[in-house]
Amino acid sequence: MNDYTIKTPEQVSISYTVAGLGTRFLALLIDTIIQYTFLVILLVSVWMMFMDDFSDNFTEWYLAIIIIAFGLINGVYFIFFEFLLKGRTPGKAALRLRVVRKDGRAVDFAGILIRNLLRIIDYLPVMYGIGIIAIFVNKDCRRLGDIVGGTVVIAEGKKASLGSVLNLPAKNTNELSDHEYALIRDYISRRNHLVGPSRMKLAAQLAAPLYDRFDIPEEKRGNPEQFLADLLTAAIDD
């Protein structure tokens, strides 16, 4: 796996670990197994419902159902889960991978849509041939869909619990991922080099999505810079 570094407009460097071909393949394998499990369950269910009316006409309809179901599952699965799980599919979640935008921000629907529509081209001529070549020649391991969609797949590792510093109820106890930890760490280490309003503006930008994602109540949202420092302490102590 390679490191992927970006710089914010405030010249703060943020490092991520790029997901390599091996982990991406394993995540894809898990997702493929889930897809085909859905497909088999659907087709067996349809067969059981209409097997008493078996005829040549039914065979034609059944083949049509197979084709349509296969297309829908392959076309919708990745878009649906990456949007629902904020850059993850079940396979990516199992391998601790996440799709983010090239600037490190959370992936938006447009990026998800583009990267997955181009999956068809990445698959050519067979078994993601173009996609594998693109990952090998691109220093950030981005397939064609990632390049056009402006996305990159990163690896998340160690997690740190937030409950220990925020005293949140169990249902609100969440985790801080490696790339979020790295982002906060870099901000805290360089904050004294930031001047004036840009310092607090960046702290607020970094804290805002974490406040929302971790369902932190308004009354617990104090100074964003102190909040980030508390998260960093939790990650170090975890």
* Domain boundaries defined on the chain: 3-155, 160-237
Tokens representing residue 222 in the block? 């104090």
Q: For residues 4 and 140, is the Cβ–Cβ distance under 8 A? A: yes
Residue 171 predicted with pLDDT over 50: no
132 confidence band (pLDDT: 50, 70, 90): very high
- Provide the pLDDT confidence category of residue 210 given band limits of 50, 70 and 90: confident
Q: Is 24 exposed, middle or buried (0-12, 13-18, 19+ CB in 10 A)?
A: buried
- Whether the full predicted model's pTM is greater than 0.85, yes or no, is no
pLDDT tens per residue, range 19-58: 989 999 999 999 999 999 998 898 888 788 777 666 666 6
